[in-house]
Amino acid sequence: MKNKYFSLGALAVACMMSANVAAQKATSFVVKANQPTAEIQPTMWGIFFEDINLGADGGIYAELVKNRSFEFATPMMGWKEQKKNGTTGKALVHNQEAINPSNRRFIRVESGSDEGFGLSNEGFRGMGIKKGNQYNFSVLARQPQGDNVAVVVELVNPDGKSIGSATVTPQGKQWKKYNVSFTATETEPKAYLNVWAKGKGTVDMDMISLFPQDTWKQRPNGLRADMVQLLADMKPGFFRFPGGCIVEGRTLDERFEWKKTIGPIENRELTVNRWNTEFGHRLTPDYYQSFGLGFFEYFQLSEDIGAEPLPILNCGMACQFNTGEVVPLDQLDTYIQDALDLIEFANGGVNTTWGKKRADMGHPEPFNMKFLGVGNEQWGEQYIERYKIFAKVLSEKHPEIKLITTTGPFPDGEEFDYLNTTLRGMKDTRVDIIDEHYYRAPEWFKENATRYDSYDRKGPKIFAGEYASQTVAIASPDNRNNWNAALSEAAFMTGLERNADVVVMASYAPLFAHVEGWQWTPDMIWVDNLRSFGTPNYQVQKLFSTNSGTQVVPVLLDGIAVTGQNNTFASASIDKKTNEVILKVVNTSDKEMNNEFVIDGVKKLQNRGTHTELRSDNLNQENSFENPKAVSPVQKQIQVKNNKVQLKLQPYSVNVIRVKIS
């Protein structure tokens, strides 16, 4: 059944044509505050995370040493030998007498004198160091031939000046972990780390690591606080991890295997990052996954920021943009067992095998996982065949977990139509939520504000799992995170909210990008080694997420939903928790609009409300490290008289009006 306010989409488009004429008149929007059409799920606005663009290693995972365990394909990548005053020495990566089978290599440094022979690590495009902050160095080490060597670590700026230093003295022939902390004397975005072996002798080292003390929640060896804070500020409803195509891998051998990402970090087996060579124009040969940010940490992060954890697992298919390898249907058991074990890891009691592992990592309470994605951007019959097998087992054993299925990488076309029709037509297989992805031009987003108006209200729900306005072409390196892109996303998002009875989750993608290490653009948050800022797109996401409301109510212009008439787009909600009416109006035109908002269906409103405005006169405006708040929200008080608000909507603006019901 269609909602009566949605069925007039064609009329809305016709009205769009006469935009300029209508813009001259004062326009009256009517909010039907006592006619809720849908519950807005607390999960509605969330976050998509993937280790792309140095999102995890070199990004939110605060480890400063690259290739800390010498397991990259080129074992010395990121490392260089260092000598002082022509001293002698030797450094060689060994792969015998491994610490464990997942971490086979270590480095043996033979030093010829007290002068100092050693190594230096370049970090991920340098190391970001802050004056006065404490840095925690750790290393697994042993001295196979007597305890003659001291390990001196020092942070150095690009001019070669030491900006912090400390010493550890490994002892004995057994591997042991050594820790030391020191304070940095300068702020430096491009520092590097020297590790000197001083004294005549041999020292073996592995897991050479340096973290800032100042991490998110001050957790040892944790996450970059500034980056997590930007996520927490969004008050996200869910946190999707670990991707993205990274779930699939270029080959099945390189797929994401969650079990290899938990437990002691020295046991987490490193894998190449599939974005390493994905784009010839943005090659990143030093991009690997250390899994220091693993599944435990993803669940913990979700909990920290108040978001439902939403893991996506490989369904027995490698990325179809790469090899498209598939596991034979009769050999899917390992993959399905991974899913069952993950549910136990997240939700099982401490006396279960996997629940105990969670407890051993410091979280005896369950993480209360409620959703699970089966596959990322798969397509074709091969996906349906595999999904059916997953769904059968998971439905029998875990009917409480909502399953997320994919409709491939595009929001239309043959592959989308096949999956959409097939998934919706399956009678004996559960399809709870369908994941749709749209990387499209800004115009597409505006034209598709009505996309869900005609979706089946009784069918599966929708997860708008990855979307971003592409100003040039999909993943073009010339795409910009500009206001035009963000404004179009805001227009589209009013359509998601209006259809909250169908759309239960939405997330922008990708999330993070390092200015010197990205592969894909646009991205929501940009970082360098010390700084981070939210793009205009971030500001739009945050505005919607922090002004969600609990129930959708109609907002009408001449009796129909506002889906582009006069180049305006709108949605409205009631927040039952705060007893407010919340109205979102997007003006995508270059004209100021004189509007009246009439709030019908409530007896009395307080005579003051707030108007939050996000705008720029310049559609090409971007945020930057120099001007991170160029496009950022400004809040003002507004008057409410006789349940009406008079408001001028600025050109190119996203507006949120909140009024309390008294």
Q: Which is nearer to ligand AHR, 409 or 549 (CB)?
A: 409
Min CB(514)–ligand AHR separation in Å: 15
Strand partners, 402: 371
Shortest spacing between CB 456 and ligand AHR, in angstroms:
25
Residue 255 or 358: which CB sits closer to ligand AHR? 255
* DSSP assignments along 246-304, one per residue: GGT-SSGGGS--GGGGSSSGGGSPPEE-TTSSS-GGG--TT-EE--SS-HHHHHHHHHH
Rounded CA-CA distance 623/97 in Å is 51
Q: How far is the CB of 238 from ligand AHR (least distance, A)?
A: 16
Judged by CB under 6 A, the chain residues 455 through 474 that form the site for ligand AHR are 466
Beta carbon of residue 538, minimum distance to ligand AHR (angstroms, whole number): 15
Count of alpha carbons within 13 angstroms of residue 219, beta-carbon side: 18
From the number of C-beta atoms within 10 Å of its C-beta (0-12, 13-18, 19+), residue 24 rates as exposed
Looking at beta carbons only, is 242 or 495 nearer to ligand AHR? Answer: 242
- Do 46 and 596 contact (CB within 8 A), yes or no? no
Phi, psi of 648 (to 5 degrees): -90, 125
Mask for 230-269, x = binds ligand AHR (CB under 6 A): -------------xxx------------------------
| CB-count burial class (<10 Å; 0-12, 13-18, 19+) for 174 | exposed
Q: Indicate the residue among 118 and 510 with the shorter CB distance to ligand AHR.
A: 510
CA 243 – CA 157 distance, rounded (Å): 35
Question: Considering the rule CB under 6 A, would residue 483 count as an interface residue with ligand AHR?
Answer: no
Asked if residue 510 binds ligand AHR (CB under 6 A), the reply is yes
Q: Tokens for 589?
A: 């035109």
409 binds ligand AHR (CB under 6 A): yes
Secondary structure class of 48 (helix, strand, coil): strand
- Residue 154 is a catalytic residue: no
Cross-strand pairs, 575: 580
Exactly one of 188, 257, 344, 377 binds ligand AHR (CB under 6 A); which one? 377
Q: What six digits make up the tokens of 63?
A: 């480890």
Angle at which helices 333-347 and 295-304 pack, to 10 degrees? 40
127-129 vs 188-198, strand pairing mode: antiparallel
Cα gap 485→441, rounded to integer Å: 8
Which residues are CB-neighbours of 203 under 8 A, at least 6 positions away? Answer: 108, 109, 111, 141, 142, 143, 149, 151, 170, 197
Give min distance, CB of 311 to ligand AHR, in A.
14
75 vs 375 by CB, closer to ligand AHR: 375
Task: Report the C-alpha gap between 660 and 662 in whole angstroms.
Answer: 6
CA dist 403 and 336 (Å) reads 13
Is 271 one of the binding residues for ligand AHR (CB under 6 A)?
Answer: no
**Amino acid identity of 324?**
G
Phi and psi at residue 488, in whole multiples of 5°?
A: -65, -35
Site for ligand AHR in 515-554 (CB under 6 A): 520
- Judged by CB under 6 A, how many residues of this single chain contact ligand AHR? 12
Tell me how far, at minimum, the Cβ of 8 lies from ligand AHR, in Å: 34
311 is an interface residue for ligand AHR by CB under 6 A: no
Among 377, 415, 466, 580, which one carries the catalytic annotation? 377
Distance of closest approach, residue 60 Cβ to ligand AHR, in angstroms: 16
Q: Min. distance of Cβ 21 from ligand AHR in angstroms?
A: 40
User: How far is it, in rounded angstroms, from Cα 55 to Cα 153?
Assistant: 27
Q: Is 545 helix (H, G, I), strand (E, B) or coil?
A: helix
Residue whose CB is less far from ligand AHR, 50 or 269: 50
- Distance between CA atoms of residues 391 and 402, nearest Å: 10
Task: Pick between residue 245 and residue 570 the one whose CB is nearest to ligand AHR.
Answer: 245
Q: Based on the shown chain and the rule CB under 6 A, indicate whether residue 376 belongs to the binding site for ligand AHR.
A: yes
Q: How far is CA 347 from the centre of its chain?
A: 23
Residue that the structure tokens 């279960």 belong to: 352
Q: Which of residues 273-292 bind ligand AHR (CB under 6 A)?
A: none
In terms of CB distance, is 348 or 409 closer to ligand AHR? 409
- In this chain, which of 56, 391, 433, 509 binds ligand AHR, going by CB under 6 A? 509
Q: Nearest Cα to 151, choosing from 93, 99, 209? A: 209
Q: How far is the CB of 586 from ligand AHR (least distance, A)?
A: 24
Q: Which is nearer to ligand AHR, 246 or 487 (CB)?
A: 246
Assess 209 for contact with ligand AHR (CB under 6 A).
no
Instruction: Find residue 556's DSSP bridge partners.
Output: 30, 561
User: Nearest approach, Cβ of 515 to ligand AHR (angstroms)?
Assistant: 17
Secondary element (H or E) of residue 150 = strand 150-156
Residues 24-63 that bind ligand AHR (CB under 6 A): 50, 52
Site for ligand AHR in 599-618 (CB under 6 A): none
Nearest to 231 by CA among 623, 542, 514: 542
C-alpha 98/C-alpha 60 separation (Å) is 29
Which of residues 13 and 474 has its CB atom nearest to ligand AHR in the complex? Answer: 474
| CA-based radius of gyration for the chain | 27
For residue 366, give every residue at least 6 positions away whose Cβ sits within 8 Å of its Cβ, in sequence order, or none.
Answer: 346, 347, 348, 349, 355, 358
Which of 256, 520 has the CB closer to ligand AHR? 520
Q: How far is the CB of 520 from ligand AHR (least distance, A)?
A: 5
Smallest gap from Cβ 81 to ligand AHR, in A, equals 37
Position closest to ligand AHR via CB: 244
CB closer to ligand AHR, 168 vs 509: 509
- Pair 246, 261: CB distance under 8 Å: no
- Active site residue ranges: 377
**Interface positions with ligand AHR (CB under 6 A):** 50, 52, 243-245, 376-377, 409, 466, 509-510, 520
